[in-house]
Chains A and B, each alone.
Chain A
Amino acid sequence: MHYGMVIDLKRCVGCQACTIACKAENGTPPGVMYTKVLDQVSGEFPNVRKQFVPVLCNHCVNAPCQRVCPTGATYKREDGLVLVDHDKCMGCRACYVACPYNNRIFLKRGKLKSGYHGKVFTPYEAVKYKEHQDGIVEKCKFCSHRVDQGLKPACVQTCPADARIFGDLDDPESKVSRLIRSRGGVQPLSEDSTEPSVYYLS
């Protein structure tokens, strides 16, 4: 079993529903996004094109963040998920500078003392902020808590354009494997030999 994701750039409409679904699922504080949709404008007037590129932790097979972590807080599960043990992280940010995709987020000290409405927490924030710690590095978990229950990650579940597909990369008949095969899925920064588990279709 090796979980992975395929992102179809032709389908993404840049609505940021995945960004919001992720925030709702994980209850992250303001400014902390495990996933987001970047955009790129290319070409010259009048032939201008706008492209949306969803980004998230790539759960690399050769994860540089795991290699450089001095505490062993970043670890890899047998199903390919790269996770962070919040109780082990000391906040040195070596993983932040090692991740070529810049997909790690450091929660500054005091970050959890205020929410979206200042120092007064909504009941939801009061519950969800207990799952976080400030002074450590966090990142996308491929919604491991949902995956363990047989559910899809929140961003995949929510995407209205079906641009994100989640599945087992080891199974040649899974939808992700078939899409990568038929449409030539490419891994971001493949020249860095990190072997990301996220593939893009263009």
Chain B
Amino acid sequence: MSRIMPLVGNEYVLGFRKQLEWSGLIASAFFFGKIGAGLFMMSVYTESRLGMLIGLTIVLGGKGGAHMLFLGKPWRFWRGMSQPGTSWVSRGLWAMTFMTVFGGAALILPAGSTLFMPLAIIAAFFAFIVAVYDGFLLTSSNAIPIWNTALMPVMCMFYAFLGGTTLTLFLTHFGIIPPSIIEPVLSTVETILLAVNLAIVFLYLITCINSGGARKKSFELLVKGPYAVAFFSLAIGLGLIFTLVMTVISGSHAGPGVVAMVTVADLIGHYLIFFLFLRAGVFKPVFGLLKI
């Protein structure tokens, strides 16, 4: 069927229809949400107040800002909290709110306060939800089969951990946050996370190869269509393979230039992979398996 049905936009033709609404700003929101929450979680682990503050700022300013720019009626955003029972958008909004409240409360406490760690751990729990909820949000959409896979939340979780580790490594290396974890350990964690992410993306693509219909169309857009160059060269090549090779080669002796380069490459790859997954989203034809 996928060979016969055309890929269409808004034309008056029956076929696979591309989703045209979720794109750059939503990809930005997902990106900032994951790297901010990842950095926040890492900073709670390393007990770095500045790291927590930067993570929280990235989530609030980056993710929150992108969402506000994206919404058609931004001043009604508070209404989005009313359906946490069924909507992942609502759940994400609540998680962001709790992360801000508990994280903010932990940060305003004086140094050495006994309440700091309990509040920081609760905030880290909500940061974890912020990091993974967009995966569940995409998975919950049956309409777009390439998103509707259990690997999506797993991928979001590991990309958040990777983003958090990369930023922690960068901030530690440049002396912005104190080195609570020795750099060789961070470099090893970074290498493992890059390898795991590469494996998950590979697994994700493998599951698409043998699929049919709309998922196959999306897969073709990613690997053969207009997004193939960006997908292979930037999202996979630069974001995962180049960074993995550089991390393995330089190990814990990487200079500032290498660390900065790995950080930038990782962030570019991170942003692009989810941006391209969004852009490659294709709806099934109206009749699906039905023959008319």
Residues of chain A having any CB pair with chain B under 8 Å: 9, 31, 36-40, 42, 51, 53, 55, 64, 67-73, 88-94, 96-102, 106-109, 133-137, 186, 188-192, 200, 202
User: 1/0 contact trace for B22-62 toward A, CB 8 Å?
Assistant: 10000000000000000000000000000000000000000
Docked Cα-Cα span, A88 to B80, in Å, equals 9
The residues of A that contact B270 with a CB separation of less than 8 Å are none
When the two chains form their complex, are residues A97 and B80 in contact, meaning their CB atoms are under 8 A apart?
A: no
Residues of chain B having any CB pair with chain A under 8 Å: 4, 10, 12-15, 17, 19, 21-22, 70-74, 76-77, 79-83, 86-90, 93, 137, 140-144, 147, 281, 283-284, 286-290, 292
When the two chains form their complex, are residues A39 and B283 in contact, meaning their CB atoms are under 8 A apart?
A: no
A97/B72 contact (C-beta < 8 A), A53-B292, A92-B89 known:
no
Q: A31-B10, A91-B76, A107-B72 are in contact. List 18 more A-B contacts (CB 8 A).
A: A39-B14, A40-B292, A42-B4, A64-B142, A70-B93, A71-B83, A92-B80, A92-B89, A93-B21, A96-B22, A97-B21, A98-B140, A102-B17, A102-B286, A106-B21, A133-B73, A188-B287, A200-B292
* Nearest CB on A from B283, distance (A): 5
Docked Cα-Cα span, A45 to B286, in Å, equals 25
When the two chains form their complex, are residues B80 and A91 in contact, meaning their CB atoms are under 8 A apart?
A: no
The residues of A that contact B10 with a CB separation of less than 8 Å are 31
When the two chains form their complex, are residues A98 and B141 in contact, meaning their CB atoms are under 8 A apart?
A: yes
If over half of B's interface residues share one DSSP class (helix, strand or loop), that class is named, otherwise mixed; here it is: loop
28 A–B contacts from the bound complex (CB under 8 Å): A31-B10, A36-B12, A40-B15, A42-B4, A55-B286, A64-B142, A64-B143, A67-B86, A68-B89, A69-B87, A70-B79, A71-B82, A71-B83, A90-B71, A92-B80, A98-B141, A99-B143, A100-B142, A100-B143, A100-B283, A102-B143, A109-B72, A134-B72, A136-B73, A189-B290, A190-B288, A190-B290, A202-B292
The residues of A that contact B147 with a CB separation of less than 8 Å are 97
The residues of B that contact A134 with a CB separation of less than 8 Å are 72
The 6 closest A-B CB pairs, nearest first, are A91-B72, A135-B72, A70-B89, A40-B14, A71-B79, A100-B143
Residue in B15, B19, B87, B284 whose Cβ sees the most chain A Cβ within 10 Å = B87
When the two chains form their complex, are residues B72 and A53 in contact, meaning their CB atoms are under 8 A apart?
A: no
When the two chains form their complex, are residues A186 and B283 in contact, meaning their CB atoms are under 8 A apart?
A: no
When the two chains form their complex, are residues A89 and B73 in contact, meaning their CB atoms are under 8 A apart?
A: yes
When the two chains form their complex, are residues A90 and B79 in contact, meaning their CB atoms are under 8 A apart?
A: yes
If over half of A's interface residues share one DSSP class (helix, strand or loop), that class is named, otherwise mixed; here it is: loop
Docked Cα-Cα span, A99 to B286, in Å, equals 11
* Nearest CB on B from A90, distance (A): 4
* Nearest CB on B from A9, distance (A): 6
Q: Which residue of B lies closest to A38 (CB)?
A: B14
A38/B286 contact (C-beta < 8 A), A89-B72, A90-B73, A90-B77 known:
yes
When the two chains form their complex, are residues A191 and B289 in contact, meaning their CB atoms are under 8 A apart?
A: yes
Could you say which of B12, B14, B86, B281 contacts A97, with CB atoms under 8 Å apart? B281
Docked Cα-Cα span, A93 to B74, in Å, equals 12
The residues of B that contact A31 with a CB separation of less than 8 Å are 10
The residues of A that contact B93 with a CB separation of less than 8 Å are 70
The residues of B that contact A9 with a CB separation of less than 8 Å are 292
When the two chains form their complex, are residues A68 and B140 in contact, meaning their CB atoms are under 8 A apart?
A: yes
Docked Cα-Cα span, A9 to B70, in Å, equals 39
Could you say which of B70, B77, B288 contacts A189, with CB atoms under 8 Å apart? B288
The residues of A that contact B86 with a CB separation of less than 8 Å are 67-68
Residue in A64, A73, A94 whose Cβ sees the most chain B Cβ within 10 Å = A94
The residues of B that contact A72 with a CB separation of less than 8 Å are 79, 82-83
The residues of A that contact B15 with a CB separation of less than 8 Å are 40
Could you say which of B76, B142, B284, B289 contacts A71, with CB atoms under 8 Å apart? B76
When the two chains form their complex, are residues B4 and A135 in contact, meaning their CB atoms are under 8 A apart?
A: no
* Nearest CB on B from A8, distance (A): 12
* Nearest CB on A from B155, distance (A): 18
* Nearest CB on B from A177, distance (A): 20
